[in-house]
Structure 1
Amino acid sequence: MKVDFKRKAYIGIWRFMIPLPQVMIKKDIRTMAEAICRKTADVSDEERKVHRFIVMTLTETNEPVTSEYIAENLDMPIDRIRAIVDKLEEMKIFLYRYNSQGINWAYPVTAEKVVHKMAFSTGEQCNAA
């Protein structure tokens, strides 16, 4: 079964996806957008570059990404990478380390085995966060 999710919002309850009424979505969308803008305003281009690299690496390897690996591949000092990773993790919207030295989760993907999968037009698949 193929479901078209364009321009619709759903809430997951157990194994079911229930569409939210448009009135409900439009009411809160401005508030949510303003909150996201406030929270991400302090993210620099360098921090975004690190986040993007982590996401791409997670999609390719499905393995946690270490700070050392990031520093080596982006040719940046390890201390700077650790500071960026700590900041992004502290913000609780970009990445998370769970039970390892590596980064397990970077929105929108994860290295953990989950039921939600993302599939790309190229045929590649990864775990969705």
Structure 2
Amino acid sequence: MGHKPYGYRIENGKAVIDEEVAAKIKKLYEAYLAGASFQSAANEAGIEVKHCGAKRMMANRHYLGDDFYPAIIDKDTFDKAEAEKQRRAEALGRLNRKINLLRQHLHIFILKSLKRTVTILRFRPSTFTA
């Protein structure tokens, strides 16, 4: 097992919920579902993370409970947050990122190829002999 998720502590080899921190996690989900951004929701909940940390935290399935970790968030809340994240990404045009990444990589490849061609042409030894 790796790093323990925020909101839990280990006692006698078992994960237990840290109630004070778990309340912050629940508030994070509530604020996000009420329309706050990841960063704003984390601030409202009193969790000091950047937006990507809040997003990663909200995607952590351990909060649903599993063989080792007890549940902090119910499945309905988790699913609503995932659906809201998807809805916002779609509204902002972020769902076609794979296509955009492919275009970006192709553009970089073309630029690097052109740079190599220019470098080869610039430093090519003269074919004329004196």
- Structure (1/2) with the larger helix percentage: 2
- Structure (1/2) with the larger strand percentage: 1
* Structure-2-length-normalised TM-score: 0.29
Larger Rg: 1 or 2? 2
